């Protein structure tokens, strides 16, 4: 058990005895404190195989048998088998035996409970499609506890990230040890943040194949949940999709490096307005905002920095500690434009070209922008502020026109992107998602037209070297990766999160070495 009482558990679902034992060894190597042996997943012929599994376990274990699992429901006399397995686990003094509330309610298990030695009983309930409020959840837990359980476990199907809020409240106030297993991609933060709110354990998977479960490796190495406590401040990326984010790999080690008690997690959010209506606690202290929420985030803030307001897009939100108000910023604009300017200045200096240091190297240039979302707006306003002539391409022409009008630029229909060549030495900036993993084979423009550009910038940073950048480099253009923008905006963002702390050398080194 970790020093803060948080257990990390790996659920194991293997058909064979040897498969279970092998997975148990892997879980141990990856940092699990205990395993849940889901016996209903096994294709065993005799209960003696389960006995061998329990006797040969290399980690403390939870033995469970779910009556409604796919395999158990196909097995004859599954209820009888369930009771045999649970009785055997208690006789062998397994650390935890999980009993479904249905089993506890419909069978006389008092005799089993009385005969146990040191085994702890977990009473579980699967809430499938039923998401009661905190009060009803509390009543359900009281009912489950009255059946004799030492630990209560709820399995919750998560349709929206807001479904987790009453679970966190319940974890904080519950008087008995409580496990909340949140199922589905939108339930990921249920496991990452459960320990902060008092959860008895956190589940982690071996290979990341279970939706909603972080891997054991990420729990131990990225999030280090053993360091979490009730005072830990929560930060995260609000986005959809969110799986591509490198933010946790950067912010979490940096929090630890500067001694700041915080955790940064991915938040798969469908409706940002509903998210902020539900998550109002000071525990949720700051947010990065990604696709497609940057524009909608403006209306969610109580106050918006003038630059972000003029751009019409927010990528950073901080909850002010004094009054809880949400303050919106845009760190994308300066990050992207200065990355482009510095790359141009470096090339000009290398070529021995004399330039006025106070003038922007993009002043007067044609700035070709692909994408009119939040990142595109930041680039467009940044380019305009430096005196560039902005041309906007977007699949939705009306959005392109609205952005072009806002920066006194020109909107051109997307299908003309490959033939647009009014001059040589232009700047191309991709602010669309084209080329992002898992579609890394895509590029917003054809290779043959890249010779018209002096510099090509791609806001996509997964992968770091996109197809667009590879082909631009082959065409002789200066290339600027979205990773440079990511580093610069993250530095500013981290300062906002921590009121000034931002070790630039550490963060830059971490990104370049690990990403």
Exposure letters 475-506 (e unless 16+ CB within 10 A, then b): bebbbbbbbbbbbbbbbbbbebbbeeebeeee
93 is an active site residue: no
Distances (CA, A) of 334 to 96, 170, 222, 315, 460: 54, 42, 28, 12, 16
Greatest Cα pair distance in the chain: 90
Residue 279, pLDDT score? 97
pTM above threshold 0.85: yes
For the chain, what percentages of helix, strand and coil (3-state, to nearest 5) are there? Answer: 45, 20, 35
As to burial, measured by CB atoms within 10 angstroms (0-12 exposed, 13-18 middle, 19+ buried), residue 73 is exposed
Residue 243, pLDDT score? 83
442 is an active site residue: no
Residue 387, pLDDT score? 97
Distances (CA, A) of 339 to 239, 321, 400, 478: 24, 32, 24, 12
Catalytic residue among 101, 131, 153, 244: 153
332 is an active site residue: yes
CB 225, CB 7: distance < 8 Å: no
Q: How many CB atoms lie within 10 A of CB 3?
A: 7
CB 82, CB 65: distance < 8 Å: yes
CB 220, CB 30: distance < 8 Å: yes
Low-confidence ranges of the chain (pLDDT < 50): 1-3, 75
Residue 3, pLDDT score? 37
Residue 157, pLDDT score? 87
277 is an active site residue: no
Catalytic residue among 30, 101, 126, 365: 126
Express each pLDDT in 232-289 by its tens digit: 999 999 999 998 788 999 999 999 999 999 999 999 999 999 999 999 999 999 999 9
Catalytic residue among 33, 40, 163, 332: 332
Q: Which residues contact 114 (CB under 8 A, 6 or more apart)?
A: none
Nearest to 220 by CA among 460, 434, 6: 6
Residue 2, pLDDT score? 41
Residue 210, pLDDT score? 80
Q: Which residues contact 61 (CB under 8 A, 6 or more apart)?
A: 34, 35, 36, 37, 54, 94, 95, 96
Helix (H, G, I), strand (E, B) or coil at 317: strand
**Helices (DSSP H) in 390-462: which residue ranges?**
397-406
Q: How many CB atoms lie within 10 A of CB 358?
A: 5
């Amino acid at each position: 058990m970790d020093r803060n009482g948080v257990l990390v558990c790996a659920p194991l679902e293997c058909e064979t005895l040897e498969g279970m034992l092998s997975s148990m060894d892997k879980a141990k190597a990856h940092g699990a404190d205990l395993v849940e042996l889901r016996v209903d997943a096994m294709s065993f012929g005799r209960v003696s195989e389960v006995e061998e599994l329990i006797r040969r376990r290399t980690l403390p274990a939870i033995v469970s048998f779910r009556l409604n699992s796919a395999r158990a429901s196909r097995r004859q006399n599954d209820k009888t088998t369930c009771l045999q397995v649970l009785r055997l686990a208690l006789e062998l003094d397994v650390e935890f035996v999980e009993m479904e509330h249905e089993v506890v309610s419909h069978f006389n298990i008092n005799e089993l409970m009385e005969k146990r030695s040191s085994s702890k009983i977990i009473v579980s309930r699967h809430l499938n499609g039923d998401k009661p409020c905190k009060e009803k959840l509390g009543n359900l837990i009281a009912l489950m506890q009255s059946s004799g359980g030492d630990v209560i476990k709820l399995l919750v199907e998560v349709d929206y990230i807001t479904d987790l809020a009453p679970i966190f409240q319940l974890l904080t106030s519950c008087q008995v040890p409580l496990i909340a297993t949140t199922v589905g991609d939108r339930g990921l933060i249920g496991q990452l943040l459960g320990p902060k709110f008092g959860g008895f354990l956190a589940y982690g998977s071996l290979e990341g194949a279970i939706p909603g479960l972080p891997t054991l490796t990420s729990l131990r190495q990225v999030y280090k949940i053993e360091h979490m406590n009730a005072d830990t401040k929560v930060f995260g990326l609000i986005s959809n999709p969110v799986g591509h984010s490198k933010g946790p790999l950067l912010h979490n080690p940096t929090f630890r490096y500067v001694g700041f008690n915080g955790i940064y997690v991915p938040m798969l959010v469908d409706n940002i307005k509903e998210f902020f209506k539900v998550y109002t606690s000071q525990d949720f202290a700051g947010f990065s905002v990604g696709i497609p929420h940057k524009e909608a985030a403006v209306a969610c803030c109580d106050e918006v920095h003038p630059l972000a307001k003029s751009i019409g897009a927010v990528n950073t939100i901080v909850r002010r500690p004094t009054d809880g108000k949400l303050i919106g910023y845009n760190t994308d604009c300066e990050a992207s434009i200065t990355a482009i300017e510095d790359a141009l200045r470096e090339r000009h200096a290398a070529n021995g070209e004399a330039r006025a240091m106070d003038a922007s190297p993009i002043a007067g240039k044609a700035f070709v922008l692909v994408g009119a979302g939040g990142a595109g707006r930041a680039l467009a306003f940044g380019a305009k502020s430096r005196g560039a002539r902005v041309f906007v391409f977007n699949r939705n022409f009306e959005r392109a026109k609205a952005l072009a009008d806002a920066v006194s630029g020109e909107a051109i229909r997307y299908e003309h992107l490959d033939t647009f060549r009014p001059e040589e030495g232009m700047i191309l900036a991709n602010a669309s998602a084209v080329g992002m993993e898992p579609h890394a084979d895509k590029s917003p423009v054809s290779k043959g037209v890249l010779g018209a550009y002096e510099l090509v910038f791609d806001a996509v940073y997964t992968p770091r070297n996109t197809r667009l950048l590879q082909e631009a480099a082959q065409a002789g253009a200066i290339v600027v990766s979205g990773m440079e923008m990511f580093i610069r905006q993250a530095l500013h963002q981290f300062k906002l999160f921590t009121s000034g702390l931002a070790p630039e050398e550490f963060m830059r080194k971490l990104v370049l070495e690990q990403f």
